[in-house]
């Protein structure tokens, strides 16, 4: 009971804070650096599909190529500051293991002896809010090279959302993890095609609904 | 402890909100005479355009509370998902666009014509908070004031228009007493609103038009918005703090709210071939495309 009351108070406080800060167009506390850690558990409640008959996947560390590498948005506390967040995406790609792939990390985009090598550039990672919801957008440019030396390029985008329960900066990171975890099923699906040496579409956009369908 | 901190933040925020800073505050002649130069600070938090999904208000309709908030959250979620899904392919065409960079380049040349000398320009994605605002104000050299420009841009919910709402305020050097309510009052404040020409019939058809030819229309509207926001910033210093009966008749202007065509009542400040700038009764300064011609006039 007490827990429920505290939760209600927190949500009420966040709501009021949102309304008040919107009215003022400024925030009242300080900006802080967020801890950008990949979280495979931060996802909508859907089953991760494990593929069969697939090839090994080699992941090159993601380049942080965002136009804005300083922030991922703003919370009620101020700017949500970041450094290079390439590692965050790399860790997400390594979690393609959850889809049945044998994944390792490599430093080279050279033609692999087996399987497919993937090199990505992160072009967008940001959050925004509406009402009591936080939304996120993640966009990646991917290059794939297979054992035959065939190179393909593709754009991926996905968004995620969650309720803003505490007004904590970490919730914005969680929402970005929702976005990344909505994007991974599209890559996992494409890798099936790439493993067969076939061509993939040039662009895929995934919202939560698409992640559910995979 | 965290809850206590949040409550303190809330209390401070409400206090600042309770200062009831008006939507529009004119720069007093005595303040203007003291300002020798401005440090311009442009805050563009957004990394790209989003759809201006209307926040639901079921919470208010149900008398507030958690149930209302939960209904609101669910509606907001569904609306954003729908609009982002529609925007999916459009984003691929505008990925290279950088509104922040465009604004930074434009402001450096445009503010050379500002009635007060602009000594420096900083463009940043970092949202400001009161602590940083205080620091910026403390750092001001004698005779300088801080000019804050905070643009937020979006496509209307029906995707027909590109809109920019820009909060502009001017702040003097702090007196060192951040606790006094007076230190949170700007010297000048205004809200500038730009709306582009309408494109297409709405929905995906409009998005196709925005995206055509490497998003030529969208790029053009974005640049026009920046130029127009800066033009409004320039002329704003000489516009009355609020519409007055003396200044002439009020007229009505059409404005796309994203869900319907709304009417704005106000007085014309500037009128040229393509656009009209209107000081509205709601104290916002609007730059509207000329097709939104005034429909009715009243001598109020």
pLDDT confidence bin for B62, thresholds 50/70/90: low
Tell whether A157 is covered by a domain. Answer: yes
Residues of B in contact with A159 (CB under 8 A): 81, 84
Q: Is residue A99 part of a domain?
A: yes
User: How high is the pLDDT of residue B297?
Assistant: 44
Contact B130 A74 (CB under 8 A): no
Q: B135 — contact with chain A (CB < 8 Å)? A: no
Could you give the CA distance from residue B47 to residue A126 in angstroms, rounded to a whole number?
7
Q: A52: distance to nearest CA of chain B, Å?
A: 30
Continuous segment of H or E residues that includes residue B279: strand B275-280
* Contact of B159 with B210, CB cutoff 8 Å: yes
Considering the domain boundaries, does residue A178 fall inside one?
yes
CA dist., res. B205 & res. B160, Å (int): 9
pLDDT on residue B206: 95
Residue A11 lies inside a defined structural domain of this protein: no
Query: Is A24 part of the contact surface with chain B (CB cutoff 8 Å)?
Result: yes
> What domains can be seen in chain B, in order of their start residue?
35-51+96-237 (3.40.50), 239-300 (2.30.30)
Q: Which residues in chain A are contacts of B102 at CB distance < 8 A?
A: none
Spatial neighbors of B139 by CB under 8 A, at least 6 apart, are none
- Report the residue of chain B nearest A160, measured CA to CA: B81
- Chain A residue numbers with beta carbons less than 8 Å from the beta carbon of B167 are 25
Distance from CA of B273 to the nearest CA of A (A): 33
Residues 169-208 in A contacting B (C-alpha not used; CB under 8 Å):
203, 205, 207-208
Residue B178 banded pLDDT, cuts 50, 70, 90: very low
Q: Which residue has the higher pLDDT, B267 or B64?
A: B267
In this prediction, residues B161-188 reach a mean pLDDT of: 79
pLDDT of residue A43: 86
Task: Give the A window 102-131 contacts with B, CB below 8 Å.
Answer: 123-124, 126, 128, 130-131
Average pLDDT over residues B45-71: 73
pLDDT of residue B241: 65
State mean pLDDT over B30-37. 91
pLDDT number for residue B64: 61
Asked if A132 lies within 8 A of B76 by C-beta distance, the reply is yes
Query: Which of A5, A9, A11, A27 is the mutation pick for testing B, counting most B CBs within 10 A?
Result: A27
Domain count for chain A, please give it: 1
Structural domain of A174 = 28-213
The per-residue pLDDT of chain B, averaged, comes to 82
- Is pLDDT at B46 greater than 90 in this prediction? yes
More confident position, B249 or A92: A92
Residue A102 Cα, gap to closest chain B Cα (Å)? 30
Question: Chain A within 8 Å of B129 (Cβ-Cβ)?
Answer: yes
Between A77 and B230, the higher pLDDT residue: B230
In eight-state DSSP terms, residue B292 is S
CB contact under 8 A, B10 and A20: yes
Q: Does A47 touch chain B (CB under 8 A)?
A: no
Helix (H) or strand (E) holding B50: strand B50-52
Q: Which of the residues in chain A have pLDDT under 50?
A: 1-30, 214
Question: Do the chains contact at A24 and B16, CB–CB below 8 Å?
Answer: yes
CATH number at residue A198: 3.30.160.150
Helix axes B65-93, A2-24, angle to 10 degrees: 50
**Contact partners, residue A157, CB within 8 Å, separation at least 6:** A124, A137, A138, A139, A140, A183, A203, A204, A205, A206, B88, B91, B92
Position with higher pLDDT, B69 vs A198: A198
B89 interaction partners in chain A (CB closer than 8 Å)? 203, 205
Residue B294 pLDDT > 50? no
pLDDT at site B214 = 95
Q: What is the pLDDT of residue B181?
A: 40
Is the model more confident about B19 or about B212? B212
B61 to chain A, any CB pair closer than 8 A? The answer is no
Position A16 in a domain: no
Q: What is the CA radius of gyration of chain B?
A: 20
- The contacts of residue B28 (CB under 8 Å, 6+ apart) are B187
Answer yes or no: is A1 within a domain: no
- Is 50 exceeded by the pLDDT of residue B123? yes
Contact A20 B14 (CB under 8 A): yes
Whole-number pLDDT of residue B59: 57
Residues 6+ apart with CB under 8 A from A3: none
**Model pTM above 0.80:** yes
Residue B85: the pLDDT is 77
Is B84 within 8 Å of A159 when comparing Cβ atoms? yes
* Angle at which helices B203-236 and B99-110 cross, to 10°: 30
């Amino acid at each position: 009971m007490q827990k429920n009351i505290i939760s209600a108070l927190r949500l009420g406080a966040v709501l009021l804070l949102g309304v008040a800060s919107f009215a003022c167009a400024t925030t009242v506390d300080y900006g802080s650096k967020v801890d950008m850690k990949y979280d495979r558990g931060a996802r909508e409640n859907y089953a991760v599909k494990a593929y069969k008959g697939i090839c090994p996947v080699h992941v090159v560390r993601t380049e942080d190529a965002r136009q804005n590498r300083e922030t991922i948005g703003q919370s009620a506390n101020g700017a949500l500051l970041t450094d290079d967040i390439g590692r965050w995406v790399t860790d997400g790609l390594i979690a393609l293991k959850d889809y049945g792939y044998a994944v390792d990390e490599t430093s080279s985009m050279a033609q692999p002896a087996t399987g497919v090598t993937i090199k990505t550039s992160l072009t967008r990672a940001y959050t925004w809010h509406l009402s009591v919801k936080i939304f996120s957008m993640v966009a990646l440019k991917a290059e794939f090279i297979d054992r035959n030396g065939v190179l393909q390029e593709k754009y991926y985008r996905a968004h995620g959302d969650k309720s803003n329960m505490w007004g904590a900066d970490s919730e914005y990171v969680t929402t970005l993890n929702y976005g990344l975890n909505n994007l991974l099923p599209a890559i996992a699906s494409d890798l099936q095609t790439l493993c067969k040496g076939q061509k993939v579409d040039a662009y895929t956009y995934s919202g939560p609904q698409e992640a559910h369908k995979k | 402890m965290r809850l206590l901190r949040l409550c303190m933040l809330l209390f401070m925020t409400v206090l600042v909100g309770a200062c009831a800073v008006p939507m529009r505050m004119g720069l007093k002649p005595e303040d203007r005479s003291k300002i020798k130069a401005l440090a311009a600070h442009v805050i563009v938090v957004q990394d790209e355009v989003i759809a201006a999904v209307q926040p639901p208000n079921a919470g208010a309709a149900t008398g507030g509370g958690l149930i209302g908030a939960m209904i609101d959250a669910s509606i907001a979620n569904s609306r954003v998902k729908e609009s982002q899904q529609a925007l999916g392919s459009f984003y691929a065409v505008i990925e290279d666009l950088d509104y922040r960079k465009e604004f930074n380049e434009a402001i450096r040349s445009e503010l050379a014509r500002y009635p007060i000398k602009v000594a420096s320009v900083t463009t940043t994605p970092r949202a400001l908070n009161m602590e940083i605002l205080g620091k910026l104000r403390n750092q001001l050299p004698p005779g300088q004031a801080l000019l804050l420009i905070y643009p937020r841009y979006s496509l209307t919910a029906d995707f027909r228009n590109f809109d920019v709402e820009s909060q502009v305020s001017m702040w003097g050097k702090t007196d060192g007493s951040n606790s006094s309510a007076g230190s949170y009052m700007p010297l000048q404040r205004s809200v500038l609103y730009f709306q582009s020409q309408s494109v297409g019939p709405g929905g995906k058809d409009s998005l196709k038009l925005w995206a055509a030819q490497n998003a030529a229309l969208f790029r053009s509207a974005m640049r026009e918005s920046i130029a127009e926001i800066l033009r409004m910033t320039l002329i704003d210093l000489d516009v009355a703090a609020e519409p007055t009966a003396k200044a002439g008749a009020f007229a009505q202007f059409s404005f796309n709210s994203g869900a319907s065509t709304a009417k704005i009542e106000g007085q014309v400040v500037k009128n040229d071939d393509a656009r009209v700038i209107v000081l509205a009764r709601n104290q916002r300064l609007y730059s509207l495309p000329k097709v939104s011609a005034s429909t009715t006039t009243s001598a109020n």
